[in-house]
Chains A and B, each alone.
Chain A
Amino acid sequence: MSAPVVASPEGFELPESQRRVILWMVYLGFAALAIGIINGLGQALNYANIDILKYFPGMRTYYQGLTVHGVVNAIVFTFAFTNGFLALCTSRALARPLSGGLLWAVFVTMVLGTLLAGYAMATGQASVLYTFYPPLQAHWSYYLGLALLVVSTWITAVALFLGVRGWRRDNPGARIPLMAFVSVATYAMWSLASIGIAVSVVGLLLPWSLGLIAYSDPLLSRTLFWFSAHPIVYFWLLPAYVSWYVMIPRQAGGKLFSDPLTRVVFIMFLLLSIPTGFHHQYTDPGISQGMKAIHATLTFGVFFPSLVTAFSIMYALEIGGRARGGRGLLGWFAKLDWRNPALVAQILAMLSFTLGGATGLINASYNLNQAIHNTAWIPGHFHMTVGSAVTMSFMGIAYWLIPYLTRRELVGRGMAVLQSWIYFIGVLVMARGLISGGLDGMPRRTLLMEAPYSKPSWELAGMLTGLGGTLMFIGGVLFFAVLIATILFGKKIEGKQDVPFTETHIAPASSGWELNLDRLRWWFVAAVVLILIAYGPFLVEYLPGNFTSPPYRFF
């Protein structure tokens, strides 16, 4: 019954030049993360009334640091890592190289985008945070830089789609290997989702920042932003899911439960990630309650594939733990390989994600959102999703990916395991602080140490936030120590290497209804229809919009 998730399980060597370009993408991502977590420490300590930002060279305001923190962590780091990682997954799954020219174009576009946005942020001309809501107006290079970063994901998407198309032409009638399917489905979702942000940035904000358009429509731009910025959380998360589905079972000594169920999960993300954006705008006037209720329902729908994922992962881990001698209801969990840093980082990522998911469901909960919207609860929530589930997974992946790409053995496995635990405990302590503060009204994105108002309960919340953030920072520093030591001093690996892909318990069928799962074009059209249902009525009612806001530079 077992089936592989790649086309040629016996092996495939990535061409050297592609190995190099993917390595550079991953380096760019982690370089961004390094800058991001240095700023993150400054943000966390602000909550504990400790000002280290004044020692940061060139840092004028807290909000400038917060902008950098958001952009480099949530956009540059995630995009760069994912562009490289899923290109590798697709190429390995199909056992054929992707277009090398396109992959280098991805890298160059990302570097250009990062430099342009980085210039605007570093010179204090773009302290508008990574949500860049108009009518706060940044320098045009900020919008252009962000646009190029999005374009880099589109070029990656083209490289992936062309790879799959070529493979299908050479293998008529064959099922798409699962590891390629999940990678391509991720990019299909994001290609569609990113249209909102592209229209807003390229069509409205960039010409507005150049003075070609005088006014903006803040509600319309917010809506276009959240059209893309809820699904962006799945674009962050799905590469981690790819690893959890097709690699973690192997690393834990188990198997992936089901090939068809995995495809269904990724199709559900393609369908349901996008028509949910209004749940970020529950407290926005100007959008009807009925539309908000529809998005609430669909958001609960997109929670379902994550619950399916929880099942599949627990299955794989339990099989692995029992094979290693685990007994009883939960004994298998203790028997997992807790000395393998790639596995430990990602198991801890999954644990923090259970809390991240639960708090996310609360955010999505319609009127309940009014209790926590824009309070410190929100960063408490998303540091348990993107800030740990995704970040720790990418760190865990790096523990085999960097050796794979550099052909050097990992240096400091013990420190790598320790690093994960410190980061994990740190994020839980920080989230405990932010969440309790948020429940008592503590706002997010605010220089609280200089605010004229405060509440007694915020003191403990702020101290925990500062403490947890410091632990996360230490965990991050140790990660980079392991990474740099590996790159510089790792023993050369001789001979063949491979990506640690798994086998499946339930194999893909070669006939019957399951073949429809591979018709990504159909599912793409279905996703478009759902978007029209979820956004159409609002746009018909609202357009041509209310373009009456002149620009402001209050930073």
Chain B
Amino acid sequence: MSKEHPLSPEKVEKVFLSLAAAMLLVFLLALFYSAYAMGMHLPGRDGEINPTMVRETPPFDEPGLKQIEPGRYEAVFLGMAWAFQPREIRIPAGAEVTFITTATDVIHGFHIEGTRVNLMMIPGQIGRATYTFTEPGEHLIICHEYCGAGHHLMYATVIVE
């Protein structure tokens, strides 16, 4: 059988496995480069909160968009069954927005489609994500975690002007 092979299976094995390991390593290095050199971060530990007292706890006592300085905004979002608060924000193109999120009841999702803003809204946890909207247009904010019978009704909109 082995006569039909130009290489012995043992040799092919070594080449195949080395290439496989090298491929994984290159992918991994590229990912960490994008995270740590280019600043595309995942959410981390950004604070805890008592989910039954969200509306009394700053900054969640005032959901909505707030300008911090020219071109920089903070958007405080609450997830609840089955709506986001606020339901819509309007920002100028080129603005850098930091989203600060939590949930008042069950787990919700916070995905701004067309961007890499993708956060779980977990009761008890505060989420943060920063994104710069360069192009004018509309993005849906979709609750992408099942949160009960009305889950599919839950969305909001980002309008970039």
Contacts and interface: CB of A to CB of B under 8 A. Distances in A.
Interface of A: 61, 63, 66, 127, 129, 133, 135-136, 217-219, 222, 257-258, 261, 281-289, 292-293, 296-297, 300-301, 303-304, 307-308, 311, 315, 319, 322-323, 361, 365-371, 373-375, 440-441, 443-448, 450-453, 455, 505, 541, 546, 548-550, 552, 554-555
B31 A455 contact: no
B146 A373 contact: no
Nearest to A448: B152
A453 B155 contact: yes
A3 to B, nearest CB: 16
B140 A63 contact: no
B65 interface: no
A361 B52 CA distance: 38
A249 B1 CA distance: 15
Contacts of A452: 153, 155
Contact of A283 (B24, B27, B43, B147): B43
Contacts of B146: 63, 66, 129, 445-446
A136 B126 CA distance: 19
B32 to A, nearest CB: 7
Contact of A366 (B35, B82, B119): B35
Contact of B17 (A283, A308, A365, A546): A308
Interface in B71-115: 81-82, 101, 105-107, 109, 111, 113-114
B46 interface: yes
B46 A453 contact: no
Interface in B40-67: 40-46, 48, 50-52
Contacts of A453: 140, 142, 155
A450 B82 CA distance: 14
A288 B45 contact: yes
Contact of B42 (A66, A297, A323, A366): A366
Given A371-B116, A374-B109, A555-B148, A455 B140 contact: yes
A286 B48 contact: yes
Categorize the interface residue count of chain B. Answer: 35 or more
Contact of A441 (B28, B107, B114, B123): B114
Nearest to B149: A555
Contact of A300 (B27, B117, B123, B153): B27
Contacts of B155: 451-453
Going nearest first, the 3 A-B pairs with the smallest beta carbon separation are A554-B148, A441-B113, A285-B127
B51 A549 contact: yes
Nearest to B118: A370
B119 A451 contact: no
A300 B149 CA distance: 37
A135 B120 contact: no
A219 B122 CA distance: 7
Contact of A284 (B43, B113, B142, B150): B43
26 contacts: A63-B149, A129-B146, A136-B106, A218-B125, A257-B9, A257-B13, A286-B48, A304-B20, A311-B12, A311-B17, A315-B12, A319-B1, A366-B31, A366-B42, A374-B144, A441-B140, A444-B144, A445-B151, A446-B151, A448-B152, A455-B140, A548-B52, A548-B123, A552-B106, A552-B148, A554-B150
B2 to A, nearest CB: 9
A136 B43 contact: no
A293 B35 CA distance: 10
Given A307-B20, A308-B17, A285 B126 contact: yes
Contact of A443 (B4, B81, B144): B144
Interface of B: 1, 4, 9, 12-13, 16-17, 20-21, 24, 27-28, 31-32, 34-35, 40-46, 48, 50-52, 81-82, 101, 105-107, 109, 111, 113-114, 116-120, 122-128, 140, 142-153, 155
A367 B44 CA distance: 12
Contacts of A367: 31, 34-35, 40-42, 116
Contacts of A451: 152-153, 155
Contact of B44 (A63, A217, A285, A361): A285
A467 B121 CA distance: 33
B118 A283 contact: yes
Contacts of A136: 106-107, 147-148
Contacts of B31: 296, 365-368
Contacts of B107: 133, 135-136, 218, 222
Given A292-B44, A552-B148, 15 more contacts: A133-B106, A289-B44, A315-B13, A366-B32, A367-B41, A369-B42, A443-B144, A446-B146, A446-B151, A447-B152, A453-B142, A546-B124, A546-B125, A548-B51, A548-B123
A445 B144 CA distance: 8
A505 B9 CA distance: 10
A186 to B, nearest CB: 22
Q: Find the residue from A219, A286, A322, A447 having the highest chain B CB count within 10 A.
A: A286
B145 A445 contact: yes
Contacts of A307: 16-17, 20, 24
Contacts of B127: 285
B36 to A, nearest CB: 9
Given A63-B151, A286-B125, A375 B144 contact: yes
A531 to B, nearest CB: 21
A78 to B, nearest CB: 21
Given A366-B42, A370-B118, A373-B118, A443 B13 contact: no
Contacts of A445: 144-146, 151
Contacts of A300: 24, 27-28
A446 B82 CA distance: 13
B81 A554 contact: yes
Given A319-B1, A370-B42, A554 B149 contact: yes
A455 B148 contact: no
Nearest to A136: B106
Contacts of A287: 44-45
A293 B116 CA distance: 18
Nearest to A306: B20
A144 B101 CA distance: 33
B123 A549 contact: yes
B19 to A, nearest CB: 9
A64 B128 CA distance: 32
Contacts of B48: 286, 546
A297 B20 CA distance: 15
Contacts of B143: 443
Contacts of A292: 42, 44
B111 A374 contact: yes
